[in-house]
Amino acid sequence: MKRTTISLPDELATAIEREARRRRLSVSEIARRALASYFGLAGGERRRIPFAALGHSGERHTARDLEEILADEWNSDRGR
C-alpha cells in the first residue's frame, strides 16, 4: 500500500472525519472506499472501460471517427 498526502477544504475534512466516527473506521479507510467507488473499483467488480469494444461496434466509420468517439466517451465518464 502506498501512502499519499492530500489537502482538503475544511468542510470536506470535517465530513470525512464525521463519517469515519459514525462508521467506526479510520479516515484513511473512508477515503480509500470513496476513491475506489469514484473510480469504479469498489466491490470487486470489473471496471467498465468505455472504449473496450470499440473495434466491434458494427459501424464502418469507427476508425475514421475514433478521436471524436473517445472524446465523447471520456467527457461523459467524467460525470460519474
With 0.75 as the threshold, say if the pTM is over it.
no
DSSP-derived secondary structure for 38-69:
HTT-GGGPPPP-TTTTGGGSS-SSTTTTHHHH
Tally the residues of the chain. Answer: 80
Domain boundaries, the chain: 7-46, 48-80
- Reported as a single tens digit per residue, the pLDDT across 8-59 is 999 999 999 999 999 999 999 999 999 988 887 776 666 666 666 655 666 6
- Reported as a single tens digit per residue, the pLDDT across 1-18 is 899 999 999 999 999 999
